[in-house]
Amino acid sequence: MSEFQIITFYEFKPLANLPELRSQLRDTMLSNFIKGTIILAGEGFNSTVCGRPENIVQFVAAAEEILETKLDLKSSFYETMPFRRVDVKIKPEIVTLKKRVDLKNGAGTHVNAADWNKVIGQDDVIVLDTRNDYEYKNGSFRNAINPQTRKFSDLPRFVAENLDPKTHKKVAMFCTGGIRCEKFAPYMKQLGFEEVYQLEGGILKYLEITRPEDSLWEGECFVFDDRITVNENLEKGAGPDHSQTDGHGSNEN
């Protein structure tokens, strides 16, 4: 097994006393030799961090106590530490859409990774990549639409200009770890789209459980750390960092 464990987790839940939470989480990262980023907002938390497996266990237990929850983790391994800093940020949103969204509208839209191929294989389903253009360039699902966005908050404009609830009855969407779709699926429902599907756990969960011979994923998946991309086995990929060459910057997960 590789030496370092990388975990991602998020949850939409009301949070208060954000400065206190930031201080507690930062101290927990430092005491367990964890590096990476945690984003806090009144709507919840979003994080990708890394450490040695034994330290990750201790960190997760402490973070669950601080955040009063059970973390839903996605995990991969790498031989070196892919993060350089300990960063706990307070922001207005844990993923920036800049639209008012009632998350309750997302009920019933989740599709688990085992059923995803069946959903996107339907001829009348529009497959929407909710990630940015520099992420799409490293890989995407077969026949997925690239909105060519520079940042997540550009996506509503793409939908307004290119998709119509009266014409596009079924829309299936995906992102890296699931968090962007947790906001965008209910947003699409608010706009009047009848059937909206989101890939639960995102690309990372799909790659984790799907055999390569059954996969409809093509290419590699951009990740927001020094690995740049991961391949179908969730190992460091060989893809270039288009976020730098295109001048976008890796700022949204």
Q: Which residues does the annotation mark as catalytic?
A: 175
8 A C-beta contact, residue 171 and residue 163: yes
The C-alpha torsion from 76 through 81 and 87 to 93, rounded to 10°, is -30
Edge-first strand order for the sheet with 125-129 is 110-111, 195-199, 170-174, 125-129
Cα separation values, 88 from 26, 29, 38, 99, 151, Å: 6, 9, 5, 24, 21
Residues 173-200, buried b or exposed e (16+ Cβ, 10 A)?
bbbbbbbbbbbbbbbbbeeebebbbbbb
- Report d(CA 77, CA 72) in Å as an integer: 17
Contact 169, 214 (CB under 8 A): no
Reported in sequence order, the residue ranges of 13-158 that DSSP labels E, i.e. its strands, are: 35-41, 44-51, 74-78, 86-90, 110-111, 125-129, 139-141
On the 0-12 / 13-18 / 19+ scale of CB atoms within 10 A, 231 is middle
Half-sphere exposure for 206 (CA within 13 Å, toward CB):
29
